Structure 1
Amino acid sequence: MKRLVLAVALLAVALPAGAQNASQIARVRGGASCPGCNLFQGDFTGLERAGLNLSGARLRQSELALVVLNRANLSRADLRDVNAYGGVFGGASFAGANLTNASFVGAYLEGANFSGASLAGANFSGAEMATARGLSQSRLNQACGDAATRLPAGLHIPTC
């Protein structure tokens, strides 16, 4: 019995937890919405799709560099550790999303909604977000940026 328990424990450690779903990643690469999908570590570099619905999706460690996802619904999405370098997210919703350690360096985030989003460790260096909504000083204090980061009036961000 001890061997069986040990074997099950070793198997659980060896298997990747929540591995990506290749067919769901392919659907999104093709421009389809996929709310709640498992897109873990997906490469979406250069994807252009206005109004894409990825609410509640798991995009952790995904590549979102140079995407154009204006008006995308990324509310409640897991965006931890994503690379969204140079991405265009005009009017997108990040409401309730987890952006922990995400990189939005040089991203366009004008009109984006960050209500209730977790920004701990997120890098917004050079990001354009002067008309972003739902930002608070206390949440921005957990993120970082640089002198080129554009924020709504009255808000500031620590330097990376």
Structure 2
Amino acid sequence: MDVNELLARYSNGETDFRGESLSGINLSGADLIGADLTGSDLHSASFIFAYLNRANLSKTNLIGAKLSGANLSQAELINANLQDADLHGAILYGADLRGANITLANLLDANLISADLRNVNLAGANLRGACLRGANLRYEKRCYDGANLRGADLQNTDLRGANLNGADLSRANLRKANLSEASLREANLTGANLSGADLRGIFLTDAILIEANLSQTNLSNGKLERANLTEANLTGAQMNWALLAAAVLAKAKLNKVSLKSARLNRADLSRADLREADLTEASLIDAYLGRAELRGANLTDANLAKAELSSANLAGAELRGATMPDGSIHD
């Protein structure tokens, strides 16, 4: 079917185009609000500035489609194949993309506010400057897996309040991304680059951040209970008032990090580099700091009750008012 026939049928009130062969069709600027394109072949179709609000595009083939600037707000794209599609600046506000394949797609500056991205495969996608505020990428047992964002480029992306529970962000580029108040419980961020990202108030409970780059990030008020940060780079990070109970920070780079009033009870900080770290009033009750490097660290009024400090290097550390492992107060 060509574009003229499709638009003529639509203008006459027809909305059922299920299973149609529309490969290469040019629907730029077309109004197809409410159209049902379930199972249609839209390979290499162009939807630039098209209006597909409330359209049903589930199980469609949109590989290589040119959707730059397209308006797909509230569209249903369940299980759609958008591999390598050009979605530069596309509006996908509130769109339902559950199970969609969006690998290697260009989503530069795209609007994905409140979009449903559960079980979406975004591996290698370009999401620089995209807005995903309030987007849902969560993990649901027996229903949807977390979104696949392995190696995705999310630099400068707005992910405020996004639900990324269980998402795979391993090796993803999240430099300078805004993830404040986002939830990443049980997410995999192994080797991810979060340098300079805003992570204030973030939920990283049970998340995996092995070897992740979190240098210069703002994790103040973050929830990182039981998070695995083994060998993570947190140099110069702001982690004031962060909750890190039972977190694993073995061999982590924490030099010059600010952990004022942070809660590190039962945390594993073995062999961690905490040189010149600010741990003023931090709680380290029952924490393990074996062979930790604490030269020049500020532990003023910190609570180290029952903490393990065997072979830790405290040369030049400030311990005024600190509660020591034996319960005594350092003068």
* Partner Cα distance (2:293, 2:265) in 1: 19
Q: CA RMSD in A?
A: 2.5
8 Å contact from structure 2 (residues 244, 263) kept in 1:
yes
Secondary structure, counterpart of 2:313 in structure 1:
helix
| 1:108 shift after superposition | 0.4
Identical-residue share of aligned pairs (%): 26
8 Å contact from structure 2 (residues 220, 242) kept in 1:
yes
Secondary structure, counterpart of 1:65 in structure 2:
coil
8 Å contact from structure 1 (residues 50, 70) kept in 2:
yes
Hey, what does 2:226 align to over in structure 1? Answer: 51
Hey, what does 1:88 align to over in structure 2? Answer: 263
Alignment of 1:1-160 (within 5 A): 21-22=175-176, 24=192, 25=194, 29-31=202-204, 32-136=207-311, 139-146=313-320, 148-153=321-326
- C-alpha change, 1:155 and 1:56, in structure 2 (3 Å) is farther
- C-alpha change, 1:154 and 1:72, in structure 2 (3 Å) is closer
Tell me: higher relative CO, structure 1 or 2? Use CA pairs within 8 A at least 6 residues apart: 1
Computing the radius of gyration from Cα coordinates, the structure with the larger value is 2
Hey, what does 2:97 align to over in structure 1? Answer: none
Report Cα offsets for 1:80-138 as digits up to 9, x if no partner: 000000000000011011000000000000011111111110010000002101345x7
* Partner Cα distance (1:156, 1:117) in 2: 21
- C-alpha change, 1:78 and 1:62, in structure 2 (3 Å) is same
* Partner Cα distance (2:220, 2:327) in 1: 33
Hey, what does 1:13 align to over in structure 2? Answer: none
Greater helix share, 1 or 2?
A: 1
* Partner Cα distance (1:130, 1:30) in 2: 27
TM-score (norm 2): 0.38
Secondary structure, counterpart of 1:140 in structure 2:
coil
Report Cα offsets for 1:29-86 as digits up to 9, x if no partner: 4413211011110000001131011110000000010001100000000000000000
Query: Where does the alignment leave 5 or more consecutive residues of structure 1 unmatched?
Result: 1-19
8 Å contact from structure 2 (residues 296, 314) kept in 1:
no
Q: What is the letter of the counterpart of residue 286 of structure 2? A: G
Query: Where does the alignment leave 5 or more consecutive residues of structure 2 unmatched?
Result: 1-173, 178-191
Q: What is the letter of the counterpart of residue 326 of structure 2? A: A
* Partner Cα distance (2:245, 2:283) in 1: 9
